[in-house]
Amino acid sequence: MQNSAVFFHKVSMNFGPIRALDRASFTIGRGETVALLGHNGAGKSTAVDLMLGLRRPDEGDITVLGTTPSRAVAAGRVGALLQSGGLPDGATIRDIVRLACGLYGGQRRVDEVLALAGLSELARRRTTELSGGQAQRVRFAIAISGRPELLFLDEPTVALDVEARREFWAVVRDAAQGGTSVVFATHYLEEADQFADRVVVLNRGAVVADAAPSTIKARAGGRTVRCVLAAPDPRRLLALPGVVDVTIHGDDVRLRTVDADRTVETLYASIGGVRDLQVTGAGLEEALISLSSEVPSGKDQ
C-alpha cells in the first residue's frame, strides 16, 4: 500500500443523517488514470475532499503517496482542480499562475504552465473576462504548476460544451504525461470510458464496481442499437442474437443488446430494409441500475 498513489480503505463519512460514503474501498496505482463515476450525490466529491485532507473520515484509512493526505498536499506533491474551487477577482491569469508556481516551489516555469494549459494568449486577461472553459483551464494550470505526482480533477468538464470538453482533455493528456497519476470524478460514462484506465463506480456512497472501462460498459447492460424499419416485428427483433430488450415507437426501433456486433450483423442479414442505424453505449442511468443490483450491499435497497 506504501507504493500506491492512493489507498482508500473502508472509508465512511456521514453528514448528519446522510451517509456520503459507506465503507468505500479502492486503490489507485502510480501512473494510473482512474475515473470516479457516479451521479451527483454518489460520494465522488466527498471522496476527493477526503483524499485532499479537506475533511477527515468518520471511519477508515486513507493513504496518499505513502503518507497522510494533508502531508502530501503540504509537500506540494498533489495538484487539484476542485469542483467548488474558484478564482480570485482583480488578478490576471499570469498573476495567478505565478502565484501557483511560487507556492509549489518553482517546479515549473510560469510560461511553461501557461503554454501547457493553453493560456499563453490569455495571460493578461482578468479572471472576470474568461469563458467557462478558459476559467477551467486556469484552475487546471494551478493544479499542474507543481508538477504533481498525483492530480485530482473533480468534475472538470461539468459546465463545458462539447468542444471545450474535448480541448480540456487534450490539455490534460499532454500535461499528465510522464508518470502522473490522475483521479477524475465524472458523471459521464463516455468520459470515463475515453480517458480512464480504470473506472470506480460509486452509488450512494458505496463502490459498486471497479474495473476496466470496457468491462463497466459491457456489464452496464451493453449497448443500444437504434434504427428505422419499415414494419418492425417485436418478436423477430427480440430473437436477434444478443438482444435483451426491444422498444418500438412507430417505425423507430430501439434494441438493447449485450453483443452489438452480432445483433447488427443479423439485423442486416435476416431482416433488411434497415435505415439510420446507430449504435451507442448505454447511459449511466442504466449502468448504475444494473451494476448496483449485481453487488450485494448492506444498505437499504
Partner 1 sequence: MWPFMRFEIIRTLRNIKYLVFLIAVPVAFYLLWGRQSGTQDGVQVAALALVAMAVYAATGGALMAAGGGVADDRAQGWLRQLKVTPLGDAQWFAGRIVLGVLMVLPGVAGVSVAALTAGHVHLAAGRWAALIALLLAGSLPFGLLGLFLGLTLRGKTAQLGIVVVFFALTVLGGVIGAGPLPGVWERIRELTPSYGLVQGGNAVIAGHAPTLAQAGVLAAWTVLAGAAVLLRWRRSSGA
Which residues of the shown chain bind partner 1 in the complex (CB under 8 A)? 52, 54, 56, 73-76, 78, 80, 82, 84-91, 95-96, 98-105, 139, 142, 146
Query: Least distance (Å) from partner 1 to the CB of residue 49?
Result: 9
Query: Least distance (Å) from partner 1 to the CB of residue 90?
Result: 5
Query: Least distance (Å) from partner 1 to the CB of residue 73?
Result: 6
C-alpha distances in Å from residue 173, one per residue of 77, 128, 165, 179: 19, 27, 12, 11
- Contacts of residue 17, Cβ cutoff 8 Å, sequence gap at least 6: none
Nearest residue (CB) to partner 1, 26 versus 104: 104
Cα–Cα distance for residue pair 236/240, rounded to 1 Å: 7
Nearest residue (CB) to partner 1, 54 versus 289: 54
Query: Least distance (Å) from partner 1 to the CB of residue 100?
Result: 7
Nearest residue (CB) to partner 1, 148 versus 281: 148
Instruction: Give the up-direction half-sphere exposure of residue 10: CA atoms within 13 A in the CB hemisphere.
Output: 2
Nearest residue (CB) to partner 1, 45 versus 63: 45
Nearest residue (CB) to partner 1, 62 versus 78: 78
Range 198-230 burial, b when 16+ CB lie within 10 A, else e: bbbbbbbbbbbbbeebeebbbbbbbbbbebebe
Q: Which residue in 33, 28, 34 sits closest to 4, CA to CA?
A: 28
Cα–Cα distance for residue pair 144/172, rounded to 1 Å: 9
Query: Least distance (Å) from partner 1 to the CB of residue 140?
Result: 12
Cα–Cα distance for residue pair 155/142, rounded to 1 Å: 16
Query: Least distance (Å) from partner 1 to the CB of residue 81?
Result: 9
And the C-alpha cell for 207? 463502490
Nearest residue (CB) to partner 1, 116 versus 144: 144
